[in-house]
Amino acid sequence: MKLFNINKNETEINQMSPLTWAYIGDAVYELYIRTNLVDTTNLKPHKLHIESIKYVKAKAQADALKNIENILTEEEKEIVKRGRNTQLHHIAKNASVQEYIHATAFEALIGYLYLTKKEERLIEILQMIARCS
């Protein structure tokens, strides 16, 4: 899933805020979902949007994290923990606080894997989530 090149090394990425990982992770996950929908359906843009919301909303992301927790490495669990424990400055209006916290942790994991160029693992996790949905 190599889209863009980031010029930071893993040490610099580890020092980033988990909210920065989540910021990138949100975009990466949404692009994955949109691409998958375009590839597997013949929906028109409005219907694509409606369908994609089912996957990218906080509750769905929190559920996705639950579905993959048992296959995460210790490093990935630590990334999730950091994402979960970060100070949130915003709560989604259509999600509980717990769902939003877990969705942020999920996005942090996706963003971290993307930023550290762990593309095979990122794809493996995204495909596992797609199979569970």
Closest CA to 123 of 42, 58, 36: 36
Rounded CA gap, 65 and 22, in Å?
13
Active-site residue, from 26, 63, 76, 107:
26
Closest by alpha carbon to 107, among 28, 33, 7? Answer: 28
- The CA distance from 16 to 19, in Å, is 8
CA 58/CA 96 separation, integer angstroms: 9
Contact call for residues 80 and 110 (beta carbons, < 8 A): no
26 is catalytic: yes
Could you give the 3-state DSSP secondary structure of residue 3?
Answer: coil
Catalytic annotation, residues = 26
